[in-house]
Amino acid sequence: MDVEAVIKALFDDDKDIAQVSPHIEGLGIVKQWLTDAEQTSLLAAIERERWLATSNQAMCFGSLPDWALSLGEAASQLLHSNGWVQDAEVQPPLVEQQL
């Protein structure tokens, strides 16, 4: 199944909120997945980490913050619960794919 079909199957509820980015292969855009409060909280957590505060944000070593782990876990549970990803398919990312 292609990326667009998976995204639409997981998130789309006839409002056309799920779409695949035409510019970045494999990137899906899901509007309204987070509530306003969740989005505000997530952005505040990112700002506290100061990941976007400098011009050189290419390298970041160490543990991921709790908000990133929670977001990743929520996405993983959603994908697994719908059968889109099997445990055997999950592989650690290559170095250039990591945050």
Is residue 94 included in any domain, yes or no? no
For residue 15, what are the CA distances in angstroms to 1, 8, 32, 37, 99? 21, 10, 10, 21, 31
**Geometric angle at alpha carbon 88, from 19 and 62, rounded to 5°:** 75
Rg (CA), the chain: 15
Are 28 and 38 within one domain?
no
Is residue 11 included in any domain, yes or no? yes
Provide the residue range defining the domain that includes 6. 1-33
**pTM (two decimals):** 0.42
Q: Which of 25, 7, 27, 26 is CA-nearest to residue 17?
A: 7
State whether residue 29 is helix, strand or coil: strand
Are 17 and 27 within one domain?
yes
List per-residue pLDDT tens for the chain, 99 residues long.
Answer: 566 676 666 666 655 566 777 787 777 777 777 888 988 998 898 888 877 766 655 665 678 888 888 888 888 888 777 777 666 555 666 655 555
